[in-house]
Amino acid sequence: MTKLLLALISVTVFAAGPKTPVAKPRVDTATFAAGCFWGTEEFFRKIPGVMETRVGFTGGTTPHPKYEETNDGHTGHAESVEIKFDPAKVTYDHLLDQFFKMHDPTTKNRQGNDEGTQYRSAIFAHGAEQMKEAKAFKEKVEKSGAWKAPITTEITEAATFWPAEAYHQKYLVKNPGGYDNHYLRKISFDK
């Protein structure tokens, strides 16, 4: 009986073969501001290849800002969403395309009912390659004429991202039907 059990174990181990390590996906980061961060996060978290999102504040000067501090625009921060994505499944270029279609990039410091510098349209580039891609894509959008007014989106280097309070994270998942003015416009930037 013992010999039979050892033989079965040997056959099982041999048949299973050596374990091959599973490659972890590469994770890149994108940071966008497009008005109220609740709707911006909800829009991007649904894109296949987006692995994680979180809302917060960036682009200003106040360390560890709270929502109440940024609400009056004096911190310089924009309500933003930080996106972790797998570039093998979704490209930065596709995220830029969706960004320029999901909000109005022609209204300076305003989206829907929200007004102030904290609601500005902005791309916070993580590195030289993203900076180059973002500038080129903005130029493509401007040349396409899809938006009938000048693009006001600012493009700057990513700085410290300060996460917002927990109740803001995945807000529209927790509060279905909450305020959201983000949607995909049926426009094209290809001539």
Q: Name the helix (H) or strand (E) containing 157.
A: strand 154-157
What tokens appear for 113 in the block?
A: 């009912």
The total number of residues shown for the chain amounts to 191
Q: Tokens at residue 136, please?
A: 């080129």
Q: Is 161 a catalytic residue?
A: no
Query: Quick one: tokens of 55?
Result: 């809302």
Which amino acid would we find at residue 163?
P
What stretches of 59-130 adopt beta strand conformation (E)?
78-85, 110-111, 114-115, 121-125
- Which parts of 16-113 are beta strand (E)? 28-34, 50-58, 78-85, 110-111
Question: From the candidates 30, 33, 34, 36, which is the catalytic residue?
Answer: 36
**Separation CA 42–CA 26 (nearest Å):** 23
Q: What is the rounded distance in angstroms from the CA atom of residue 108 to the CA atom of residue 79?
A: 14
Positions marked active-site: 36
